[in-house]
Chains A and B, each alone.
Chain A
Amino acid sequence: MSHLETAARPDYLCRIAIDPLSRVEGHGKVTLLTDKDHRIRQARLHIVEFRGFEKFIQGRPYWEVPVVVERLCGICPVSHHLAAAKAVDQLVGARELTPTAEKIRRLMHYGQTLQSHAVHFFHLASPDFLFDFDDPAAHRNVGGVMTDYPDIARQGVRLRKYGQEVIRVTAGKRIHGTGAIPGGVNKALTLQERNYLLADLDLMIQWGRGILKLVKQAYQLNPGYFTYFATIRSNYLSLARADGALDLYHGGLRARNERGEILFDKLDYRRYSQVIREQVKPWSYMKFPFIHSLGSEQGWYRVGPLARINNCDFIPTPLAEEERREFMALGDGQPVHMTLAYHWARMIELLHATEAIKELLLDPDIFGEERVVRGEMAREGIGVIEAPRGTLFHHYRINEDGLIEKANLIVSTTNNNQAMNESIRQVAERYLDGKELTEPLLNQIEVAVRAYDPCLSCATHALGRMPLIVELVEEGSGAVVNSLARDVDGTVRNEMGLPPEGASSV
Chain B
Amino acid sequence: MSAEQCFTLDGRRVPFQDGQTLMAAALDAGVYIPHLCFNPEFAPHGSCRVCLVQVNGRVQAACTTPAAAGLTVQSEIEELREMRRGILQMLFVEGNHVCPACEKSGACQLQAVAYYVGMQTPHYKHFYPRRPVDASHPEAVIDFNRCILCELCVRASRDVDGKNVFAVQGRGIQARLVVNTPSGQLGATPFSIHDKAAQVCPTGTILTKHRGYETPIGQRLYDRKPISVVGDVAQLPESRGGRRHD
Contacts and interface: CB of A to CB of B under 8 A. Distances in A.
Interface stretch (B25-33, B81-89, B211-219, B238-246): B211-219
B135 A401 contact: yes
Contacts of B218: 172
A82 interface: no
B100 A176 contact: yes
A173 B100 CA distance: 11
Contact of A67 (B135, B136, B211, B213): B213
Interface in B114-136: 132-133, 135-136
Contacts of A187: 216, 219
A504 B103 CA distance: 55
Contacts of B135: 61, 401-403
Given A172-B217, A403-B135, A61 B100 contact: no
A494 interface: no
Given A61-B135, A402-B135, A403-B135, A173 B212 contact: no
B100 A63 contact: no
B210 interface: yes
Interface in B214-230: 214-219
Nearest to B101: A68
B129 to A, nearest CB: 14
B141 interface: yes
A63 B101 contact: no
Contact of A186 (B133, B210, B215): B215
Interface in B136-163: 136, 141, 143
Interface residues of A, number: 25
B18 to A, nearest CB: 47
B133 to A, nearest CB: 6
Contacts of A67: 100-101, 103, 212-213
A92 B214 CA distance: 14
B176 interface: no
A262 to B, nearest CB: 39
B179 to A, nearest CB: 14
Given A63-B210, A63-B211, A402-B209, A178 B101 contact: no
A312 interface: no
Given A64-B101, A176-B100, A186-B216, A92 B133 contact: no
A371 B133 CA distance: 29
B100 A64 contact: no
Contact of B217 (A61, A68, A173): A173
Nearest to B213: A178
Contact of B216 (A61, A63, A179, A402): A179
Given A68-B101, A71-B101, A172-B218, A63 B213 contact: yes
Nearest to B185: A401
For the complex, would chain B's binding face be called helix, strand, loop or mixed by DSSP majority? loop
A244 to B, nearest CB: 35
Given A172-B217, A173-B217, A181-B213, A59 B101 contact: no
A402 B210 contact: yes
Contacts of B133: 59-61, 403
Nearest to B137: A401
B214 A186 contact: yes
A70 B213 CA distance: 14
Given A173-B217, A186-B214, A401-B136, A61 B101 contact: no
Nearest to B141: A61
Contact of A181 (B100, B187, B214): B214
A61 B210 CA distance: 8
B209 A177 contact: no
B54 to A, nearest CB: 38
A63 B102 CA distance: 11
Contacts of B187: 401
A63 B101 CA distance: 11
Contacts of B212: 61, 63-64, 67, 181
Nearest to B223: A172
A333 B214 CA distance: 48
Contact of A178 (B98, B132, B143, B216): B216
A171 B216 CA distance: 8
A59 B214 CA distance: 21
Contacts of B132: 59
B136 A64 contact: no
A419 B150 CA distance: 55
A85 to B, nearest CB: 10
Given A61-B135, A401-B135, A402-B135, A186 B213 contact: yes
30 contacts: A59-B132, A61-B141, A61-B143, A61-B212, A63-B103, A63-B209, A63-B211, A64-B101, A64-B103, A67-B100, A67-B101, A67-B103, A67-B212, A67-B213, A70-B100, A70-B101, A71-B98, A71-B101, A171-B217, A172-B217, A172-B218, A173-B217, A176-B100, A177-B217, A181-B213, A186-B214, A186-B216, A401-B187, A402-B209, A403-B135
Interface of A: 59-61, 63-64, 66-68, 70-71, 92, 171-173, 176-179, 181-182, 186-187, 401-403
Interface of B: 98, 100-101, 103, 132-133, 135-136, 141, 143, 187, 209-219
Closest 6 CB pairs of A and B: A172-B217, A401-B135, A187-B216, A178-B213, A186-B216, A63-B212
